[in-house]
A = this chain, B = another copy of it.
């Protein structure tokens, strides 16, 4: 009973603070929520909650605000995912359908997510790690330059220029293309290094140098920078919460321009379900007063990549979580159609 009320108080504090963005006091709390006890009682509970580290006072004569730990508890005990309004679902569906290609899907998704959550949105391109090769194309741009194109079954596409020392005939290029196609189509990207091991040896010695270059580039494209493409949107929302609260927006914008940081945010999401990292938990300096809500998405049941949002720690977690989840779900569906 006692413990129950304390949690209710924490919950009420989080909810009020999320909506008003102002420290909440004991009196306001009993007025806005039907807690059935007097402010004095609440004060005792608050003192206990503060002792345990769930809430804090900006200064002596102010109300309480939740700490990172407080949000953590709140999120962990969320009663359940609030379903999205029907209108919202329809909006999502309408927004994502009619994408012409993968780039388009990514751009639309990030816009949608930013719009629905009113936060900064991040969407990672489908990883090559878990994809396989749909097609390979080798094109002679000139006699000493080839263009290699790799298409993943997720629709993602990588291109690389290859410079070779000796001129190569169109016939040789065509042969190599055919061999490449035979070897790699349908194979997982992760298995390419093994598969390509003997490729050059079985080549006509004359074109071996070219083959070596092609294989090197292919493996580079297939194994390096696999997950490095991330689209960002909705940064304008940053200004909104920067206005009133002591969030320096520069470090946030800086963090969002660092590929490494983004990779960390997107990469660490646990499989299945939604990951919420609050404040310091992001382990990124510039994001210490923001929270990150991510989840994985993927087609055909395999999880390809992550998407999510970045917002102030005092965001509406319920809404954020359900939106992120819903968008991930729809993206997955769209990608399956592709």
Given contacts A236-B254, A257-B236, contact A151 B161 (CB under 8 A): no
Answer yes or no: A333 CB below 8 A from chain B CBs: no
Name the CB-closest residue of B to A101.
B159
Copies of this protein in the assembly total 2
- Of the listed stretches A83-91, A131-139, A265-273, chain B binds A131-139
CB A60 to nearest CB in B, in angstroms, measures 30
Given contacts A147-B135, A151-B147, A234-B257, contact A161 B338 (CB under 8 A): yes
Given contacts A159-B157, A160-B101, contact A253 B239 (CB under 8 A): yes
CB A115 to nearest CB in B, in angstroms, measures 10
Q: Is the CB of B157 within 8 A of A157?
A: yes
Answer yes or no: A249 CB below 8 A from chain B CBs: yes
Given contacts A157-B157, A236-B257, contact A141 B137 (CB under 8 A): no
Q: How far is the CA of A24 from the CA of B234 in the complex (A)?
A: 37
Sort chain A's interface into a size bin: 35 or more
Q: How far is the CA of A240 from the CA of B250 in the complex (A)?
A: 7
Of residues A139, A236, A248, which shows the largest number of chain B Cβ atoms within 10 Å of its Cβ? A236
CB A82 to nearest CB in B, in angstroms, measures 27
Q: Is the CB of B100 within 8 A of A160?
A: yes
Q: Which of A273-299 contact B (CB under 8 A)?
A: none
Answer yes or no: A149 CB below 8 A from chain B CBs: yes
Q: Mark contacts of A145-182 with chain B using CB atoms, 8 A cut-off: 1 yes-contact digit, 0 otherwise.
A: 00101010001011111000000000000000000000
Answer yes or no: A324 CB below 8 A from chain B CBs: no
Q: Is the CB of B161 within 8 A of A137?
A: no
Answer yes or no: A235 CB below 8 A from chain B CBs: yes
Name the CB-closest residue of B to A185.
B139
| Chain B positions within 8 Å of A160 at CB level | 100-101
CB A262 to nearest CB in B, in angstroms, measures 13
Q: Is the CB of B149 within 8 A of A137?
A: yes
| Chain B positions within 8 Å of A236 at CB level | 250, 253-254, 256-257
| Chain B positions within 8 Å of A249 at CB level | 239, 242, 249
CB A255 to nearest CB in B, in angstroms, measures 9
Answer yes or no: A238 CB below 8 A from chain B CBs: yes
Answer yes or no: A233 CB below 8 A from chain B CBs: yes
Give residues in A with beta carbon < 8 Å to B.
100-103, 111, 134-135, 137, 139, 141, 147, 149, 151, 155, 157-161, 220-221, 233-236, 238-240, 242-243, 248-250, 253-254, 256-257, 338
